[in-house]
Amino acid sequence: MKKLITLCLLIAASGLAAQTKSKTLKLKYTAPEGWNAEEFGGKTTWDESGNALCKCSGLYFTKQNKDGKLNVMVYPSTISGLDSSKREMVGSMKFVDVEKFDKTKNKYFSFEKKKSNFTDVKTNKKMYEVVKYKTKIEDHFYIIYTWQENMGMMSPNTEKDLFLVINALEPL
């Protein structure tokens, strides 16, 4: 019985240890199994610093998949940063905006969801199918891109796998 209780406590403790609280991004997140998470950007403002994907702050999740790497990019923003062209891009890929959107939600957020594609800004060539989520919490917003590095259509199973990361995000 003691071994069973000890095992349960170890499992619970390992689950808690995996959660990350980011005061900078105003988020709590737990990378689902098999996913890697990397936070980047400034410590005082969301528009400073960054990396090769964006000269801003954000959170980048990746997971290897036999059909092409899965990616989730989370950009925090104030209302003034929503019109920033840098948050319409991930590296050299630009989101092709569309009028049509759906509403969806998880436990903590309600989202505007747009499905479109990325284009390469250098060649103007169509790239990957992508789902863009936008949500507001108090005085700030999150823009989230989910895609698979695969030139085919995104399957419903792939969308579900990508949405696991969306469900792992909580406001701080």
Q: What is the pLDDT of residues 81-100, one digit of tens each?
A: 676 777 888 999 999 999 99
**Residue 155 falls inside a structural domain:** yes
d(CA 132, CA 102): 11
> What DSSP state is assigned to residue 65?
-
**pLDDT band, residue 7 (cuts 50/70/90):** very low
Average pLDDT for 15-37: 85
- What pLDDT, on the 0 to 100 scale, is given for residue 144? 96
Cβ within 8 Å of residue 151, ≥6 positions away: 127, 128
What's the CATH code of the domain at 132? 2.60.120.1690
Looking at residue 18, its pLDDT comes to 65
Domain encompassing residue 136? 21-171
Please state the domain count of the chain: 1
Higher pLDDT, 154 or 113: 113
Beta strands in the chain (DSSP E): 19-22, 27-30, 36-40, 58-63, 70-77, 89-90, 93-95, 102-105, 110-120, 126-137, 140-148, 169-171
Phi/psi zone of residue 138: left (φ > 0), alpha (ψ -120 to 50 degrees), beta? left
pLDDT range class, residue 3, cuts 50, 70, 90: very low
Question: Does the pLDDT value for residue 139 go beyond 70?
Answer: yes
13 part of a folded domain? no
Q: Which of 43-52, 131-140, 157-166 has the lowest mean pLDDT?
A: 43-52
Task: Give domain status of residue 12, yes or no.
Answer: no
- Between 69 and 54, the more confident residue is 69
What's 87's DSSP letter? G
